[in-house]
Amino acid sequence: DTGVSQDPRHKITKRGQNVTFRCDPISEHNRLYWYRQTLGQGPEFLTYFQNEAQLEKSRLLSDRFSAERPKGSFSTLEIQRTEQGDSAMYLCASSLQLTGATEGKQYFGPGTRLTVL
């Protein structure tokens, strides 16, 4: 179990640029989540995948945000035309959700800290 990894760990970009983050979940996990966390606040849900299907998107996920999970493995989160308000920690989590199982505990990665200048 190598845990959830995220790349890059830090990203500094200028307003208006596009950025892409990658998340590699724990290998057998079928669910993958993206959250965003600003300073002093708890993480906020953005979207989640069950295998390769994106099942829910938060209202926080504007048209400038897009997430993919091709082949149900790693996932990417892209932000187009970044704004200063996008500055935050972007967290990825994965879980193994079995039908009928009560556990769905999520394992979080270390996050990608985005700074938009």
Phi-psi sector, 89: left (phi>0), alpha (psi -120 to 50), beta: beta
What minimum distance in Å lies between the beta carbon of 72 and other proteins? 16
Per CB under 8 A, the list member of 13, 76, 87, 97 interacting with other proteins is: 97
- DSSP character string of 25-75: --TT--EEEEEEE-TTS--EEEEEEETTEEEEE-TT--TTEEEE-GGGS-E
Q: Is 31 in the site for other proteins (CB under 8 A)?
A: yes
| Interatomic CA distance for residues 12 and 26, integer angstroms | 27
Q: How many residues bind other proteins (CB under 8 A)?
A: 29
What minimum distance in Å lies between the beta carbon of 36 and other proteins? 11
| Interatomic CA distance for residues 9 and 104, integer angstroms | 26
- For 89, the token pair is 């920690």
What minimum distance in Å lies between the beta carbon of 76 and other proteins? 18
Q: Is 77 in the site for other proteins (CB under 8 A)?
A: no
3-state SS, residue 84: helix
Tell me which stretch binds other proteins (CB under 8 A): 10-18, 62-70, 74-82, 97-105: 97-105
Per CB under 8 A, the list member of 33, 69, 77, 88 interacting with other proteins is: 33
**Contact positions toward other proteins, by CB under 8 A?**
4, 31, 33, 35, 41-45, 48, 56, 91, 93, 95, 97-111
